[in-house]
Amino acid sequence: MSSFSDFKLATELPAWKTLESVYKKSGKDFKVKEAFDEDPKRFQKLSKTLKNYDGSQILFDFSKNLINDESFSLLIQLAKEAKVEHLRDEMFKGSLINFTEGRAVYHVALRNRSMKTMEVEGKNTAPEVDAVLQHMKEFSEEVRSGKWTGYTGKAITDIVNIGIGGSDLGPVMVTEALKSYSKPGLSAHFVSNIDGTHIVETLKNLNPETTLFLIASKTFTTAETITNANSAKRWFLESAKDNKHIAKHFAALSTNAEEVEKFGIDTKNMFEFESWVGGRYSVWSAIGLSVALYIGYDRFEEFLKGAEAVDKHFVETPLEDNIPVIGGLLSVWYNNFFGAQTHLVAPFDQYLHRFPAYLQQLSMESNGKSVTRGNVFTNYQTGTILFGEPATNAQHSFFQLVHQGTKLIPADFILAARSHNPIEHNLHQRMLASNFFAQAEALMVGKDENQVKKEGATGGLIPHKVFLGNRPTTSILTQEMTPAALGALIAYYEHVTFVEGAIWNINSFDQWGVELGKVLAKVIGKELDDKEKVKNHDPSTRGLINQFKEWAL
């Protein structure tokens, strides 16, 4: 695809205009509880089951959302008019849809385990992707079996992934989520922050003889990662003494062989991927090596296949039944018509405690844009503010605002039906599940004045105890949080993000917005080399820098 300028502003699409009037006429007063009374088949109609490659299933219940037949079909029409299918097909064809960087967006080719031909600029990516996976398999099997030893002949006990953004959040989130599949005797650690505390506290209890560092950086030029990697190298060499030992203790996950070599890592220990893999979409690539090491390569392959199953669904399913399409359209409905600013994702799953943080980068780095593919500023809201924490903890902190605050906060709740830890005859799991159901029900049903009075409240207390309800949720119920289910869940959110971006007519795949801060930090970094007061900058920044110098240098 060469030009994007023929794509219209979302607000110019006929379905958008009709949705605006439908929202004003009836959408804003829509009562989901009444919709259930009127349509006994609403749950069946608006809940969709995703079948994974291994026969397992995930149920997506969209029926508690603020939609009816009219708004739903208009949203589908909006997707058609915004050419979501066309753009999706271009992504799967390897077209250079990330046009501001002149790149394909081809993370979907990383989970092409059926080895279809998937080309970028005339070259089939499948053999190359498979070769890297085979390398990851061999390496992870050697390390896990103890065949790969450190410089004193001892097996590896600790893996430290050093990376940031997409080179950190995916690996951390997935290793945490799949902890129950890990092998005793092999721990995974993650260092991302440039704050020295992160690496110091991580290395404190590690033994250099049995520690393997994975330097994860697509560009291999990210300041935080390279600084941390150099500190790790110094720490290692304090014990190992000789540079030749680096080969046994450092591997690189990157697209930049030249910089990897300069750093001193043997290119035999380099796991490559291509520039068409965006950082926030890279956990499926060599960046996922810590995951393969931690849970074993076969499990990593299941994780990829789970995502591949969602890709197939996304490509082949008509829009009306297409689960990520529905998720993306609902997000647009709330963001642009109801004026919702945020989106809550609350996993009822402690293993998923880093999932919202992971999704924040996926969603907000992708869709935090205000210029269209036609190179003009949007005249509508784009990227939603995604936040979340595992429930039930979140219920005891910020859920108050979700239930009784003044803002509309659409929410996704996630639960695995079978627990990996069914302790106390499954009591914990039943309590967890009861909260998963209760929260979504309470947010929808609320509690009216009559009910509050029946329960004995009087006078001024009554309005405080009223819950207006009608707050939308999507409940996502997996059978178990397996590698395949997690792969599917992540791919679902990736495609939701894609659909949102397609409707908003923005490029979801670049990230120019993070550049300015990086450039300024480099300039200021040099100014912090000595005690000399700075005279440049704006008065506030100048005042802060000079105070810092007085206190810290």
Binding site for ligand F6P (CB under 6 A): 164-167, 217-219, 222, 225, 279-280, 365, 511, 514
Distance of alpha carbon 271 from the chain centroid: 22
Contacts of residue 161, Cβ cutoff 8 Å, sequence gap at least 6: 168, 171, 172, 188, 189, 190, 191, 214, 216, 289, 290
Greatest extent of the chain over all pairs of C-alpha atoms, in Å? 79
Residue 102 C-beta: closest distance to ligand F6P, Å: 16
204 CB-contact burial (10 Å; exposed 0-12 / middle 13-18 / buried 19+): exposed
Over the Cα atoms of the chain, what is R_g? Answer: 25
Q: Position of tokens 């409240």?
A: 457
b/e map 270-298, b = 16+ CB within 10 Å: bbbbbbbbbbbbbbbbbbbbbbbbbbbbe
How far is the CA of 419 from the CAs of 49, 91, 413, 478, in angstroms?
20, 36, 16, 11
Nearer to ligand F6P by Cβ, of 361 and 382: the residue is: 361
Cβ atoms of 346 and 387 within 8 Å: the answer is: no
> Would you call 191 helix, strand, or coil by DSSP?
strand
Report the DSSP beta bridge partners of residue 347: 414
Residue 511 C-beta: closest distance to ligand F6P, Å: 5
Residue nearest to ligand F6P (CB): 279
Residue 365 C-beta: closest distance to ligand F6P, Å: 6
210 CB-contact burial (10 Å; exposed 0-12 / middle 13-18 / buried 19+): middle
Nearer to ligand F6P by Cβ, of 113 and 280: the residue is: 280
Nearer to ligand F6P by Cβ, of 113 and 218: the residue is: 218
Residue 224 C-beta: closest distance to ligand F6P, Å: 8
| Catalytic pick among 41, 147, 268, 396 | 396
Nearer to ligand F6P by Cβ, of 269 and 482: the residue is: 269
Residue 232 C-beta: closest distance to ligand F6P, Å: 15
How far is the CA of 297 from the CAs of 133, 152, 193, 207, in angstroms?
9, 26, 28, 25
Contacts of residue 228, Cβ cutoff 8 Å, sequence gap at least 6: 162, 191, 192, 194, 198, 199
Nearer to ligand F6P by Cβ, of 167 and 182: the residue is: 167
The continuous run of DSSP H or E covering 268 comes out as: none
Nearer to ligand F6P by Cβ, of 112 and 228: the residue is: 228
Nearer to ligand F6P by Cβ, of 108 and 215: the residue is: 215
Indicate if 495 belongs to the active site. Answer: no
With helix as H, strand as E and coil as C, how does 505-539 read? CECCCCCHHHHHHHHHHHHHHHHCCCCCCCCCCCH
Nearer to ligand F6P by Cβ, of 165 and 410: the residue is: 165
Residue 273 C-beta: closest distance to ligand F6P, Å: 10
Fill in the DSSP letter of residue 9. P
Tokens found for residue 506:
């923005």
| Catalytic pick among 31, 518, 531, 533 | 518
Measured N-to-C along each axis, helices 84-93 and 297-316 cross at an angle, to the nearest 10 degrees, of: 140
Nearer to ligand F6P by Cβ, of 355 and 436: the residue is: 355
- What are the backbone angles phi and psi of residue 346, rounded to the nearest 5°? -120, 105
**E-assigned strand segments in 308-363:** 342-347
Residue 258 C-beta: closest distance to ligand F6P, Å: 14
Nearer to ligand F6P by Cβ, of 60 and 273: the residue is: 273
Q: How many helices (H) and strands (E) does the chain have?
A: 23, 13
Residue 217 C-beta: closest distance to ligand F6P, Å: 3
Residue 221 C-beta: closest distance to ligand F6P, Å: 7
Nearer to ligand F6P by Cβ, of 211 and 282: the residue is: 282
Contacts of residue 83, Cβ cutoff 8 Å, sequence gap at least 6: 7, 502
* Cα torsion through 438, 442, 445, 448, rounded to 10: 130
Residue 41 C-beta: closest distance to ligand F6P, Å: 44
Distance of alpha carbon 77 from the chain centroid: 27
Give the residue among 482, 488, 450, 490 at the shortest CA–CA distance from 466. 450
Indicate if 425 belongs to the active site. Answer: no
Beta strand 250-254 with 270-272 is parallel
Indicate if 135 belongs to the active site. Answer: no
Cβ atoms of 381 and 16 within 8 Å: the answer is: no
| Catalytic pick among 365, 389, 494, 500 | 365
- By annotation, the residues acting in catalysis are 365, 396, 518
